[in-house]
Amino acid sequence: YGIREGEVILLTALEGIGKTEYLRAIEYHILKTTDHNIGIIHLEESKDRSLKGLVGYELQVPCHIPDFGIQDEDIKQAYRKLFIRDDRVHLYSHFDTDDPDVILDRIRFLVTCCNCRMVFLDHISFLATSLQEADTVKFLDYLSTKLEKMVEDLSFSLIMVSHENDKGDT
């Protein structure tokens, strides 16, 4: 039945497979086919890169690549056409914390204050990269449990990405 409120969807694959691009294609599809507000937290890229990635789908060119010669005005027009209104897409970049409670607070803010019905988190495993393996498991269990409860309580959709290791474990 597709993406449903109150559920978590987890996309997993090895590094370099294209998980972020797949997630971005879903974000674009949601923007084109619904009027939902969405929250986007891409932890490995800047807000500018995330925006240009989405707008690139609208323009059908990779406008994040400087050599493509896309003019700023073309990007702005595509942005306005895709986003429809200023309060529809809420982008957060990371680069300032790996505290799980801060990420949880940001997601709660997106849902309760910005009325985001869908939140995209790329990628949850990034939050645990500085931890030892035993701490990583504990950390991700804590975060996953909190996220699952929040999604259920607030009835929104959470679509996340996680890396797999060489053994196929998430």
CA dist 42 to 69, 75, 166, Å?
25, 20, 23
| pLDDT tens for each residue of 139-152 | 788 888 999 999 99
Enter the tokens of residue 125: 């495993």
127 pLDDT band, cuts 50/70/90, is confident
30 pLDDT band, cuts 50/70/90, is very high
Enter the tokens of residue 53: 């990635």
Enter the tokens of residue 103: 């990420």
* Spatial distance between the Cα atoms of 13 and 97, rounded to a whole number of angstroms: 24
| pLDDT tens for each residue of 35-44 | 999 999 998 8
* Spatial distance between the Cα atoms of 58 and 152, rounded to a whole number of angstroms: 32
